[in-house]
Chains A and B, each alone.
Chain A
């Protein structure tokens, strides 16, 4: 399953809830304000880094760029993808859950 999260982890529980329920082997794509969850050195970074053992986590490049977050600031192991990668993830997974 592909999970998408579009809210900042500092402002919403959606990322935390998603990670608590996502099955091993799931894909998680951080989009819009969700990309703030990819920043290293934040109070949520350890939780997210730990989740990388179970879930493949992506962040949408154009949304990182809009917010001034360069790739060297991301939690190690998070992959950056583009709109084409978003489409690919939506098609290779059997379903999509959009955490709003």
Chain B
């Protein structure tokens, strides 16, 4: 039995212009099966991945934004969003999808998955990881 490692997936791309966001999300969901300690970071244009209200009905693309809601069921419930990246883009926390997870150790209480962190906090989080994967 191998030891558990801290994995962080760093998302830096907007959702539809390139395939990074979708590919990254799929890797996270696949990786969730390996019972590691997984978190995700959203910095730069990556914060746009979590923008609520995405609707691709007029543009003939796959709207994969609902898939982020499944992350909590895979115990991926630490999504760190850099505050400075939001502010530089004219966004705030209320613009993001209200992602939650259910804590089985706390009577299945519904808790927020998204944590807004400062650039300095994110720097510390990156330093604390064993494995960092960028998309």
Contact = CB atoms under 8 A, between A and B. Distances in A.
Interface of A: 6-8, 10-11, 32-33, 36, 39-43, 45, 61-63, 65-70, 73, 82
Q: Looking at chain B's contact residues, is the secondary structure mostly helix, strand, loop, or mixed?
A: loop
A4 to B, nearest CB: 13
B89 A39 contact: yes
Interface stretch (B12-20, B34-42, B109-117): B12-20
B93 interface: no
Nearest to B57: A65
A10 B17 CA distance: 13
A55 B115 CA distance: 39
A68 B53 contact: yes
Interface string B38-58: 000000110010011111111
Nearest to B50: A68
Interface residues on B, range: 20 to 34
B88 interface: yes
A68 B90 contact: no
Contacts of B67: none
Contact of B51 (A33, A61, A68): A68
A6 B18 CA distance: 11
Given A10-B45, A10-B89, A40-B90, A65 B59 contact: yes
B123 interface: no
Nearest to B17: A33
The residue in B55, B56, B59, B88 that gathers the most chain A C-beta atoms within 10 A of its C-beta is B59
A66 B90 contact: no
Contact of B48 (A6, A36, A41): A36
Nearest to B60: A62
Contact of A32 (B16, B44, B89, B90): B16
B48 A67 contact: yes
A45 B16 CA distance: 22
Contacts of A36: 14, 45, 48, 89
A9 B44 CA distance: 11
